[in-house]
Amino acid sequence: MVENGHHHHHHPPATVPPPPTIHRPLGAARGPAYPPAEQLTQLSYCIHSNPSWGQTVLLGFQHYIVMLGSVVMISTRLVPQMGGNNGDKARVIQSVLFMSGLNTLLQTLIGSRLPTVMGPSFAYTLSVLSIINDFADEDFSSEHERFVHTMRAIQGALIISSFANMIIGFSRAWGDFTKFFSPVIIVAYVCVVGLGLFGRGFPELGNCVEIGLPMLIFLVVFQQYMKRLHHRAESLLERFALLFCIALVWAFAAILTAAGAYNNVGRTTQLSCRTDRSYLMESAPWIKVSYPFQWGTPIFRASHVFGMMGAALVSTVESTGTFYAASRFAGATPPPAHVISRSIGFQGIGQLLDGTFGSIVGNTASVENVGLLGLTHVGSRRVVQVSAAFMFFFSIFGKFGAFFASIPLPIFAAIYCVLYGLVAAVGVTFIQFTNNNSMRNIYILGTSLFLGISISQYFVMNTDYVRTGQGPVRSSGGWFNDILNTIFSSPPTVAMIVGTLLDNTLDVHDTHDDRGVPWWVPFQHRTGDERNNEFYSFPLRIDKYMPRRYL
C-alpha cells in the first residue's frame, strides 16, 4: 500500500482573543454623565423673550420690592449718623430709588444690556463714614444743618470719583483686564459675589427670629414644594410665591405689633420687629421729585474724593461678577470684554448722576435681583425695565413708597438667604467648562474662595461701622486707609485678585485646556461667537451714534 505523499496535519483550533476591556468613567458606570451646557435648563423666559404684560408688571413689582431692602438698610444705617431725622431719611430713600430707576434703565438699554437692577452699593459705606467723621467735631447750628453739609460733601466726592469708572470703562482698560479671566477664576469670583454677603442673611434675620424664620420657611415651602401639588399652580407659585409670602409675614408682624408683643423689649428688637418703627409714613412727603443739587452746592475735598475712588473701583469689581451671574440666569453668553467696558463706563455716568441728584452712595448691580432671576426662572430684560418704572413712581409719590419701605428688615434678610445662595450656586456652574479633576484648578479655587471670605471678614470684624469707620489699616493718610480698607473688605474683590494672580502665574501654558480657555476666549471678542451680537447689540438705531469700539 503506497502512500500518496499528502499528509494531513491536524492543527489546534485558533484561539479567539478576548474582546478588549473598555474602562468607563466612574460617573458613567453608576449613572448618566451630563455634558457641559452653555444654557441653564428650565428657564421659562430668557433675556429677549417676555411673559405676558400682566405677569411682566407683577414680576417688575417683585423686583422693586426685593431691591427696596438694600435702599432702606443703607439709609437707616447712614442718615442718623449724619444728623438727619426721619424726614431726611425719607427724602434720601426717595432720591436713591429715583437714581436706581435711572441707572437701571441706563444699563439695560445701552450699558450691559443684561436684566440687572442697579441699586445702592454697600461698598461706599466706609467712605461715607469717613466723611461723616470729618465733620463730627465741627459746630453747626442744628443737626439738620450738619446733615445737609455732609450730604453736599458726599455729592462732591461721588461726582469727582465717578470719573475713575468712566476712564477705566470707556478707555476699555477694564475690559482688557477681564481677558485675563478664565472659567477657573469666574467660579470663585461669582461664588463669592453671593457667599460674601452672608452677613446680610441669617445674622440680620436673627434680629427678629419670629418674623424672619417663618418668612424663610414659607418661601421655601410655597415656592418649591407647593408648586408640585398641581400643574396649574406650578408657574404661579414659582414666579409669585415671594410676593405672597411677604404679604403673609408682613401682616403677621403687623398683628404682633398691634397686639403689644414688642412693647417691653429692647430698642434693637423693636427696630427690627415692629412695623411702625421706620416713621417713614409720617415723615415722607406725598409728592417729591428729585432734582439736581437738591441738597445745595457740592463740597469738594481731595481726601474725600480719593477715599470714594476706592469704593468706585470695588463697585466695578462687584458689578462685573454680578453681570456674569446675570448672563447665566438670562440664558445669554458671558458678556464680552467690550460690553463689560461699556457697562462700567455707564456705571461711572450713573455715579456722576448719583452725586448730581444727591444720592447717599454710588450704584452697583444688585445681587439679590439677579438671584430673583434664578428663583423665578424669568431672565427677561423687559421685566427689569418695568421694575425701573416702579422705582420712579414710588420715588415721586413718597407716601406710597414709604408704605412698602416699612417692611421689617428681617423679612428681606430671609429672602436674601435664598437669593444670595442662588447667585453663589450659579458661579459653580462655570466649573463644567474646566478640568474638574485638575489639582491645580482645585488649589486655585480653594485658595481664592477661602481667602476671599476670610480676608474680607477680618477687615469687617476690625472696622468700626458705628462711629468712625476706621478699619485695620490705620496709617497717617486717611484717604489711603479708606481705599485699602474698602478694597479688602469686599469678598469678590479679594477673590478676584487672588484668583487672577494664581491662575495667570501657575503653569499657564501647560494648562491652557484645563483652565477652560478654549471655551472662554471666543465670548470675549465681538465676533468670537455669533450670539454676542444677538444678546448685547443696542436697541433701535442707537449704534449709529455710538463709537464702533463700544458696540
pLDDT tens-digit profile of 470-523?
889 888 888 889 999 999 999 999 999 999 999 999 998 889 999 999 999 988
- Looking at 21-25, 167-171, 432-436, 534-538, which range is the least confident one? 21-25
Q: Which pLDDT value is given to residue 131? A: 93
- What would the pLDDT profile of 107-119 be if each residue is shown by its tens digit? 999 999 999 999 9
Residue 3 pLDDT: 44
In this prediction, residue 541 carries a pLDDT of: 60
Residue 37: predicted pLDDT: 86
Amino acid type, 126: L
More confident residue, 490 or 551: 490
- Give pLDDT, residue 5: 47
Distance of CA 420 to the CA centre of its chain: 8
List beta partners, residue 193: none
Per-residue model confidence as pLDDT tens digits over 321-370: 999 999 999 999 999 999 999 999 999 999 999 999 999 999 999 999 99
What pLDDT does 165 receive? 95
Task: Give, in order, the Cα–Cα distances in Å from 253 to each of 213, 258, 279, 413, 503.
Answer: 12, 9, 16, 15, 49
CA-to-CA distance for 171 and 109, rounded, in angstroms? Answer: 20
Q: Reply yes or no on whether the pLDDT at 76 is more than 70.
A: yes
Nearby residues of 502 by Cβ (< 8 Å), 6 or more positions away: 443, 444, 447, 448
Average pLDDT of the chain? 90
Check residue 479 and give its pLDDT. 86
Contact 277, 271 (CB under 8 A): yes
- For 369, the grid coordinates are 435681583
pLDDT at 17 over 70: no
Lowest-pLDDT choice from 373-387, 402-416, 464-478: 464-478
Backbone angles phi, psi at 243, to 5 degrees: -65, -45
Is residue 2 scored above 50 in pLDDT?
A: no
pLDDT band with cut points at 50, 70 and 90 for residue 11: low
Instruction: Provide the percentage of residues in the chain whose pLDDT is more than 90.
Output: 72
Other Cβ atoms less than 10 A from the Cβ of 324: the count is 23
Domain spans in the chain, listed from the N-terminal domain onward: 58-528
Query: Cα separation of 89 and 399, whole Å?
Result: 13
**pLDDT(7) > 60:** no
Structure confidence at residue 382 (pLDDT): 96
Q: What is the mean pLDDT of residues 60-86?
A: 94
Q: Any idea which of 86-95, 243-252, 409-418, 531-540 has the lowest mean pLDDT? A: 531-540
pLDDT band at 464 (very low <50, low <70, confident <90, very high): confident
Report helix angle 367-376 to 183-195, nearest 10.
Answer: 100
113-122, 307-316, 398-407, 436-445: segment of lowest average pLDDT: 398-407
| Alpha carbons 499 and 516: distance in angstroms, whole number | 14
Yes or no: say if 363 and 100 are a contact pair by the CB < 8 Å rule. yes
At how many degrees (to 10) do helices 86-110 and 337-357 cross?
Answer: 150
Percentage of the chain beyond pLDDT 70 is 92
pLDDT at 356: 96
CA 180 to chain centre: 22
Query: pTM surpassing 0.85?
Result: yes
Report the pLDDT value the prediction gives residue 268, as an integer from 0 to 100.
84
